[in-house]
Chains A and B, each alone.
Chain A
Amino acid sequence: MIDIYNELTSIVDKDFVSNKPEELYIYGRDPGLMPAHEPEYVVMPSTVEEVQAIVRLANREKIAIVPKGGGLSLTGLVIPQKGGILLDMKKMDRIIEINEKGSYALIEGGTTHGALKSHLLKNYPHLRHSIPDSPPIATVVANAVIHGQGRLTQQRGFNSDMVCGLEVVLPTGEVCKIGTSAVSDYWFSKGAPLPDLSSLFFGWCGTTGIITKMAVKLYPCKKLRDVMLFLTDRAELVPDIMLKLGRTEMIEDLVVTAQPIPLRYAGNYYILFYITGDSEEELEYKRKYCWHTLWEYFEKRDGGFVSLVPEMKAPLLSMPSKDTTRFADVSKGGGFEYSGPIAPIEKYAVYVKKLEELAVKYNLYYSSAARMIDGGHSMMFSFSYTFNRADAQTMKRAKQALDEAAEYALDNGGVMWKPNLDEQKITIRKMDPNTLELMTRIKKLLDPNGIMNPGNWEVL
């Protein structure tokens, strides 16, 4: 029997290899509701070469590898279903280059959103990237891998759309550049004008390779930012309100919140959106413009803007938003998870109805945040429920509610985002068989030994 632990410590500094029960325990579960399953080794590589050597070892020994960023996708995507080696990528955390003229940042596979934000703010305050509202430990790469959405998604699409180049260690161990960097010294496009191979790595949940470098597009960071809050009590009006605002091409992010507590939220849908400007005049113009865009609802008294005092604005303007995370402690139980379909925004009203129904049915606290994507081409609608980690019953009920929500969403035009294993199964069931066949062929081609995050996107 070969001693994989020793082989791993010959690849990576032994301080960063563990097979002790404590590390295996922690890396065997995420904060969500999918059942735990422990890896056999936890490794933190620092270089591409180390990643390659680990991948080769895993191929040779036919053991699983699961890359992990912040582990916050909540749907169990980093739970090693087949044991094996868990790669915590967060020691590969350099910001290699900010190409100011090319408006992109080149980072490593484990650089966190928090670190990139902080670096830009300090050194390039006129540039920004699309930061999601996940806690700052989420990595930029993992977030793109699962097609995350951030503060620029309303204007620019999924965070994966804002990627402009990759370096990947393939499941067979080769290092491969994707996008213009395969030909040029510049990382300005992830595909065009070449065949776009980047899609082999996004949406695959780490089953097709390990991204070791990634370039992400940077966008202007205007000097001023403000938040506006519009309320309506009619869910059926929400899609039009979203669209009207999106079509002004004046707003940054837009998120619609529905939740029963704190009490001021009850009975209304909170349409929160942001405007930016380089001067107070620019902001003021946009502020007024947005007001008048929604004037008809205001006049009919179906909707209205809330004046926000500075104390209310501070948390809303923070990026990421800590309030999103605080939802986990609403029932003092340390947990929440959401089922998040990407869906047509016209589904808002029926989804929200289902959200509330399920909360009643399973006796759970709920919350939903619907983020508009790409000017309204779709939205991410979260069915979020809290649970109490110390109460198995609430965990069970929350999981049932999420399962039911996912089924419902899929039957109503939605497609599951960062799907957990159960959601992957129902997605596969509904999928065009030829599409499925193509995915299967690609996966086999890339990962003949099936070592990459096995269990996920498996057809059987």
Chain B
Amino acid sequence: MYELIFDREKCARCKSIPCMTKCQYIKLDTVTAKKEWQKVLDGEDSFILEACTTCYACNEYCPHGNNPFYMIVDRQEKKGILPSPRPIITMWVNQCEPVGKFTVGLLQEKALSYCFLAHFNVLAHGKLFEDLEYSAVYGQEFFCNAVYLHYAKTSLIKERLPKIIENIRKQGIKELVCLHDECYATYTSLAPAYGIEVPFHPIHYYDYLIEKLKALKDKVKPLGLKVAYQRNCSTRLIPEVDKSLDELFNLIGVERAVRKYDRKNALCCAEIIRMAKGPELADELQKKNLDDMQSVKPDYVVFNCPACWDSLATKVAERGMKPIHVIDLCRLAVGEEQSLNLEKMEAEV
């Protein structure tokens, strides 16, 4: 069975315990942080395990790449701590169960992963996806499973993820372009942390787009826009992709507005938190985040994660700002139209 690879030595040598002192929710001084974190490591009870909002951020705060968040999740499960109500967890466990209802396109060795997110059916078209448009996988069978980190279910990840990886391998996919940030995080951070082998080469879609845009250089018209960026939780696991995003924005002439809640200080979309901790905290976070977006007067609010889109896009629009997905922003730059729009609620009357 897979076990978390975690170097307690690093923690022992760690002076400032940034994983815990920087946490936006559990505000600890260094001494208490050291003490409580030690309890976590020793498998003892610590209020950290209850208070954690599962925002993933401590993973980014650890300067030693030690994955403290995975440690928290591991301990939560072992202690039977439920970060969200049990029925919510059950719903997640059930709705993503692989039951053979997946979609596989005309696959090549290089393929797109839509994860289990229908948004990409809309987004992944046009010039930027010309060669790969139909080379895509979608459905529970290809679902990265990282979401269970929010629900103290590493056991489920350990059970399902190897199968998912095998499903992808079986399709003959050598290079997997992950359209969902979280998939990339799964294959490059989560899987290795548990010693799960990944027999294909994961590519973050930022890097894919950078290459594409370079190739389509003459067609790219710099947009000259200023945007507020909604940085999502899974980027905490793969903070290096932030650099790619900067490069991407650069290529299409977009300025990433300097705002309080971006980069390491980003705020999560808060819908998982709403279900886990209640509406007050979630509303407060969303208000702070939206206020901050608004303060930089962005031309667009840019989303990376479809789940953030579902949580925040409507609220962004209600405040008179325009939500857009990174892919769509790039599509604008090559003269195409925004494809993922807010669903009008009049589908059924």
Q: Is there a contact between chains A and B in the complex with CB atoms less than 8 Å apart?
A: yes
Is B279 in the interface zone, CB < 8 Å from A?
yes
- Complex Cα gap A43–B310 (Å): 52
Choose the segment among A299-307, A364-372, A384-392, A424-432 that binds chain B (4+ C-beta atoms closer than 8 Å).
Answer: A299-307
- Complex Cα gap A120–B233 (Å): 46
Q: Which residues of A contact B94 (CB under 8 A)?
A: 263-267
Is A287 in the interface zone, CB < 8 Å from B?
yes
Is B85 in the interface zone, CB < 8 Å from A?
yes
Asked if B345 contacts A313 (CB within 8 A), the reply is yes
Asked if A306 contacts B348 (CB within 8 A), the reply is no
- Given A287-B279, A314-B348, residue A264 in contact with residue B95 (CB < 8 A): yes
Asked if A303 contacts B343 (CB within 8 A), the reply is no
Closest to A263 in B: B94
- Complex Cα gap A314–B314 (Å): 14
Instruction: Bin chain B's interface residue count.
Output: 20 to 34
Is B320 in the interface zone, CB < 8 Å from A?
no
Is A322 in the interface zone, CB < 8 Å from B?
yes
- Complex Cα gap A301–B279 (Å): 15
Closest to B95 in A: A264
Is A291 in the interface zone, CB < 8 Å from B?
yes
Closest to B93 in A: A267
Asked if A303 contacts B275 (CB within 8 A), the reply is no
- Complex Cα gap A315–B348 (Å): 6
- Given A307-B275, A318-B348, residue A301 in contact with residue B342 (CB < 8 A): no
Is B181 in the interface zone, CB < 8 Å from A?
no
Closest to B274 in A: A307
Asked if A301 contacts B82 (CB within 8 A), the reply is yes
Asked if A305 contacts B275 (CB within 8 A), the reply is yes
Asked if B87 contacts A263 (CB within 8 A), the reply is no
Asked if B86 contacts A233 (CB within 8 A), the reply is yes
A349 to chain B, nearest CB (A): 15
Q: Which residues of A contact B91 (CB under 8 A)?
A: 231, 264, 267-268, 306
Q: Which residues of A contact B63 (CB under 8 A)?
A: none
Is A311 in the interface zone, CB < 8 Å from B?
yes
Binding site for B on A (CB under 8 A): 231-233, 262-268, 287-288, 291, 295, 297-298, 301-307, 309-311, 313-315, 317-319, 322
User: What are the 10 closest A-B residue pairs judged by CB atoms, nearest first?
Assistant: A304-B85, A264-B95, A318-B348, A231-B87, A309-B310, A304-B88, A314-B347, A307-B271, A301-B82, A263-B94
**Told that A263-B97, A267-B90 touch, could you supply 18 new A-B pairs with CB distance under 8 A?**
A231-B87, A231-B90, A263-B99, A266-B90, A287-B279, A288-B279, A295-B278, A297-B85, A301-B84, A303-B87, A304-B87, A305-B274, A306-B88, A306-B275, A310-B343, A310-B345, A311-B343, A314-B345
